Structure 1
Amino acid sequence: MQNMERACPQGQSAGTSQDPGSGEMNKSEHITAGQPAPKLYAAREPVFNKRIDGPFRRFKWAVMVLCLAIYWVTPWLRWNRGPYAPDQAVLIDLAHRRFYMFGIEIWPHEFYFVAGLLIMAGIGLFLVTSAVGRAWCGYACPQTVWTDLFQHVDRFFDGDRNARARLHKAPWGPAKIARRLAKWTVYLAISFATGGAWIFYFADAPTLHHEFWTGQAAPVAYGTVFALTMTTFVLGGFMREQVCIYMCPWPRIQTAMLDEKSLIVTYKDWRGEPRASVKKAEKSPGQFGDCIDCNQCVAVCPTGIDIREGPQIGCITCGLCIDACDRVMKETGRARGLIDYATLEDAEREKAGNPPTRHLKLIWRPRTLVYFTVWGSIGLALLFMLGTRIHTDLTAAKDRNPPYIVLSDGSIRNAYTLRIRNMEGRPRRMEIALEGLSGGLLWSDDVGREQAARKIVRTVAADETQSVRAYVVAPANTPPQDFTFALQALGQAGEADNAKVQFDTPAGAP
């Protein structure tokens, strides 16, 4: 081993030697002598972001309050759908396989509406990213909203940035333990409220609330609340920016969607560099840029990055660094916008001395218009389908074994299972009639053959599907053929539907 080390040139590790047979480098080629192997995971460095006030911070407050209010209040809103349907405005009724959202009711066979909404949500994220970068991550993402809320809890118990940093480094003692327990208790309360609100979307909120606290709720309700409470507690309280940087796939998807025309938070280095303090810049006018290297942009960042190092995955485009920098620029008598929303292309134009382009003009570009057109088209298509859909549906399935029965009088009988769907919040009378099949008659299990006719009437309960066992008989000499079950809703809004089926006879296939 000593001979190998002496044979290596100075500064080169013996680990970089090649296998003469294969010509491939050994696995230790990147590890120099005496240097520890690189770690696969970097330990988290706590981020103590500083309180800041400004337009972006106030907008962030508004979005956070709005998102939390929507999440916690929505299950308690009521919506009158009549006496036969639940009155919860937004309800995912898994037991009855329904999705209610105010005046809209989605049945299982209409899942394409839900799929359309999910597609719109995905394209909406593409649209927002194309227009204003990672604004979703910076303002409305659940991880961002709850992390922001927990950071305000930190400030309430531990103070602002410097106080939190000192407390973090301080040894454990009664005062620190008391603060931590109080803060973590609030964490748990918020996390419990988060998990508790989620289950109210799947059952009547007042009823489930009573059952939950009296121990009468289903075990899955308690399990769901526990799981969501712990994930919110851990992710929002202790992992925070690590979720954005390491766990969430969306930042990596967004990097493929951003280009030089995307509006993102940008540090204008040609204006800020070289950096110098105010006093040093006053002593040497014209030699330094506007950045005074105060690190306020770093201090307020919720993920702890330095935006002056350029675009990076840790930047969630919240704009707090803009608020901090604009305040410093105002205090030092410099123009705002050293850190600002800008495209890389427009930044180059501004660097060349041209005036910056208006943000509205930067947003409406071909890619954004394409996303908006696709997003809007899907939305309009869903609205059209929702407005033109009927609330009556009929399906028919023919018995295959036996395909037919020859009765004692020579007539031929086929059996069918009909499913009549009433999608309105009131009982409705439905008429089922035969169209085609000359000489054919129809009856059901609760109507004898002596009452067979060309049509029967059924009352279908509100918001229900009724199964009808139907029998169709035709004369002995009837050839195989297709015919139709026609469904007609009686009374107002007389909607109709039909189902085409086959009538089999001993003569063979039609």
Structure 2
Amino acid sequence: MTAAAVKSPKSQTPSPAPTDDEPLYAARRAIYPQSVKGRLRTIKWVLLAVTLAIYYFLPFVRWDRGPDAPSQAVLIDFPTRRFYFFFIEIWPQEFYYLAGLLILAALTLFLMNAVAGRVWCGYLCPQTVWTDLYMAVERAIEGDRRAHMLADAGPWTLEKVAHKTLKHSVWLLIAWWTGGAWVLYFADAPTLVVELATFQAPAVAYVSIMVLTFTTYTLAGHLREQVCTYMCPWPRIQAALTDEYALNVTYLYDRGEPRGSVKKAALARAEGEKVGDCIDCNQCVAVCPTGVDIRHGSQLECIQCGLCIDACDTVMDKINRPRGLIAYDSEANLEARIAGKPSVQRIVRPRTILYVALIALVGGIMIYSLADRTSEGLAAIHDRNPVFVRLSDGALRNAYTVRLTNKKLETRRFALTVEGLPGAKLTVVGIAPTPEGDVLTIGPDKTLEARVLVTYDGKLDPGASIPVTFRIRDLTGATGAAVSDHFIGP
């Protein structure tokens, strides 16, 4: 059979253009996804449990950072302007790490799309995870697809009111817990829980919880697929990033068409006629959380969750047909199979290699920067007027303003020295010399500005500008910092 002999059902029945009497947007129809069991559904349950457990319980994980430092493993501490992530501590001037994380997230999303289409949307997107959780609660209280549809179509009874009340109460409880967990990332979690329970927490905490409760309840409980179809920009962006080798949830129409019931298919096969494996049971549509019929080809509403694969495989098992009528497949592989050519699977290709290389590059730069950074800072500014002073004994003196930064949450003592000008004498104005040299004491998370005089009684060439280096050394450790400037002569 040639490629021209088999066409996608979608290509055979193009959608007519809207007329003046038709609305531009179709009215929303209620979607009642049916429960399904299978490999992909199990993967989704595992990911749901893992991601929600991380989100809800991570604020309670402890991490010892020593005295006077927060012990919460992950904390966004606005009062001290710090972001803590286990052993990593990010300071406000290191905003570029946030930019690096955003770049890594974008590149990872691009890589996932190049390999398996909207796999993020189907398995890891917060909207998908919370909607899955809300649907599970709905099925547990109101029953599966058929029972839920019959109840909604029937009259309001005491039982129906009780079910609806219980469902929305549980939804609101989940939404409230979601909002409450979010604020715990911005303060010590156990302490804030007590303050919230005793109504002693800051007003911003209660407002944040109410806002997130409302948004979670609305988006996951009511809007659901509307968020993916109309509110999220990613479906439109990813269409421009994908190619024919990306794996997507695909109906293998070369194998499934023409459709027919089990009995008609058996008779047709006995007579040697061409018949597809699809029996038009609509189970793929019934389990879809967005109500998509995957047999019409790739669609904007499809989040590539793969539940239709599990539903179709279950039906294929019952009618003794091979699994995989709906599967993760690429457009290139589908066209090659129709043309009678070998299968084409190209996970490793220039696009994916580029994304992996960029991820490795950005990640490597961030890791190196984290490993090479120090917990102190030093800056020096040379006086502009006068640039030098000739003393009565003939020595030259240059003045500098030196600023030291202590990024730790503890008081530290630094010894300040100057290098590059042998025999030069360094004096810190207002600081008495000690046996350890010129020592500057800086409080926790503070900066200190000092006026520094460098005196040199040696000979300099006319118009000389000698490079010098100011260096600080932590007297309680081996860390330090340095900055370069110039010693200027006549």
Output the TM-score relative to the length of structure 1.
0.83
Q: Which position in structure 1 is the counterpart of 2:326? A: 339
* Candidates 467, 485, 489, aligned match of 2:474: 489
Question: Which residue of structure 2 lines up, in the alignment, with residue 302 of structure 1?
Answer: 289
Aligned residue pairs, count = 464
Mean CA deviation greater in 471-480 or 104-113 = 471-480
Task: Choose the corresponding residue for 1:148, options 118, 129, 132.
Answer: 132
Correspondence 1:289 to 2:276: yes
Instruction: Give me the whole-angstrom Cα distance separating, in 2, the residues matched to 1:487 and 1:195.
Output: 46
> Are residues 1:372 and 2:359 paired?
no
Name the structure 2 match of 1:466.
447
Q: C-alpha separation between the residues in 2 aligned to 1:225 and 1:398?
A: 51
State the distance in 1 between where 2:199 and 2:379 align.
42
Matching residue's letter, 2:150: R
From 151, 155, 164, the equivalent of 1:167 is: 151
SS of residue in 2 equivalent to 1:284? helix
* Distance of 1:237 and 1:130 partners within structure 2: 31
Q: How does 1:380-419 map to 2 (within 5 A)?
A: 380-397=364-381, 414=399, 416-419=401-404
Q: Deviations over 1:385-426 (max 9, x none)?
A: 2223233321235677x8789899899784625122244x66
For 1:422-501, list aligned pairs within 5 A: 422-423=407-408, 427-435=411-419, 440-445=425-430, 447=431, 455-461=437-443, 464-472=445-453, 474=455, 483-492=468-477, 494-501=478-485
Matched with 1:186 is 170
Contact 1:421 1:466 in 2 (8 A): yes
Residue 64 of structure 2 is matched in structure 1 by 80
Deviation at 1:87, TM superposition (A): 1.1
| 1:4 aligned partner | none
**Contact 1:47 1:302 survives alignment (8 Å):** yes
User: Corresponding residue for 1:16?
Assistant: none
Partner of 2:115: 131
- Deviations along 1:330-383, whole A, 9 cap, x unmatched? 1011111111111011012222345545xxx53222211221121122222222
Contact 2:424 2:455 in 1 (8 A): yes
- Cα distance per residue 1:50-73 (max 9 Å; x no partner): 010000000010111111011111
Residue 422 of structure 1 contacts residue 460 of structure 1 at CA under 8 Å; is this kept in 2?
A: no
Q: Alpha-carbon deviation of 1:242? A: 0.6
Consecutive unaligned residues in structure 1, runs of 5 or more: 1-29
Q: CA deviation at 1:261?
A: 0.8
Q: Secondary structure at the match of 2:241?
A: coil
**Which of 254, 261, 274 is matched with 2:238 structurally?**
254
The verdict on how the C-alpha distance between 1:271 and 1:469 changes in structure 2, with shifts beyond 3 A counting, is: same
8 Å CA contact 2:62–2:71 kept in 1: the answer is yes
Equivalence for 2:141: 157
SS in 2 for 1:79: coil
The alpha-carbon distance between structure 1 residues 119 and 289, as it changes in their structure 2 partners (threshold 3 A), is same
Q: CA deviation at 1:201?
A: 1.0
Report the Cα offset of residue 486 of structure 1. Answer: 1.6
Between the aligned partners of 1:295 and 1:305, the Cα distance in structure 2 is: 11
Inter-partner Cα distance in structure 2 for 1:336 and 1:312: 23
Which has the higher mean CA deviation after the structures are superposed, 160-169 or 294-303? Answer: 160-169
Give the conservation status (yes or no) of the 8 Å contact 2:442–2:448.
no
- The residue number in structure 2 matching 1:350 is 337
CA shift digits 1:30-55 (9 cap, x unpaired): 997xx64x435433212110010000
Contact 2:113 2:119 in 1 (8 A): yes
Aligned to 1:51: 35
Alpha-carbon distance change, 417 to 497 in structure 1, aligned in 2, over 3 angstroms: closer
Closer/same/farther in 2, CA of residues 436 and 387 from structure 1, 3 Å limit: closer
8 Å contact from structure 1 (residues 157, 183) kept in 2: yes
SS in 2 for 1:256: helix
1:107 Cα deviation (Å)?
A: 1.5
Contact in 2 for aligned 1:431/1:487 (Cα 8 Å): yes
Contact persistence 1:443–1:453 (CA under 8 A): no
1:219 lines up with 2:208 in the alignment:
no
SS in 1 for 2:238: helix
Q: Match for residue 317 of structure 1?
A: 304
Residues 473 and 496 from structure 1, CA distance in 2 versus in 1: closer, same or farther, beyond 3 angstroms? closer
Give the Cα–Cα distance (whole angstroms) in 2 for the partners of residues 211 and 392 of structure 1: 35
Whether the aligned pair in 1 keeps the contact of 2:378 and 2:402 (CA below 8 Å) is no
| Kept after mapping to 2: 8 A contact 1:404/1:415 | no
SS for the counterpart of 2:200 is coil
Classify 1:339/1:414 alpha carbon distance in 2 versus 1 (closer, same or farther; 3 Å): same
1:261-299 Cα offsets, whole Å, 9 max, x none, are 111011011211111111222333234211000000000
Structure 1 position 459, deviation (Å)? 3.7
User: Unmatched 5+ residue regions in structure 2?
Assistant: 1-16
Partner of 1:276: 260
Asked whether the equivalents of residues 380 and 400 of structure 2 are also in contact (C-alpha less than 8 Å), the reply is: no
Task: Return 482-491 or 200-209, whichever deviates more.
Answer: 482-491
Query: CA 1:339/1:104 → structure 2, altered by over 3 Å: closer, same or farther?
Result: same
Q: Which has the higher contact order (CA 8 A, sep 6+)?
A: 2
> Structure 1 pair 31/48, CA: closer, same or farther in 2 (3 Å)?
closer
- Between the aligned partners of 2:364 and 2:424, the Cα distance in structure 1 is 46
Give the RMSD, CA atoms, in angstroms: 3.0
- What displacement does 1:473 show? 6.5
- The CA distance in 2 between the partners of 1:480 and 1:453, in whole Å, is 32
Question: Match for 2:241: what amino acid?
Answer: M
Deviation at 1:489, TM superposition (A): 2.0
Aligned to 1:204: 188
Q: Secondary structure at the match of 1:315?
A: coil
After TM superposition, the structure 1 stretch with the greater mean CA deviation from structure 2, 370-379 or 136-145, is: 370-379
Q: Contact conserved, 1:441 with 1:454, CA < 8 A, in 2?
A: no
Tell me the distance in 1 between the aligned counterparts of 2:192 and 2:383.
Answer: 43
Decide whether the 8 Å contact of 1:290 with 1:334 is kept in 2.
Answer: yes
Q: Is the 8 A contact 1:443 1:452 kept in 2?
A: no
Secondary structure in 2 matching 1:431 = strand
Residue pair 1:127, 1:372 contacting (<8 A) in 2 also: yes
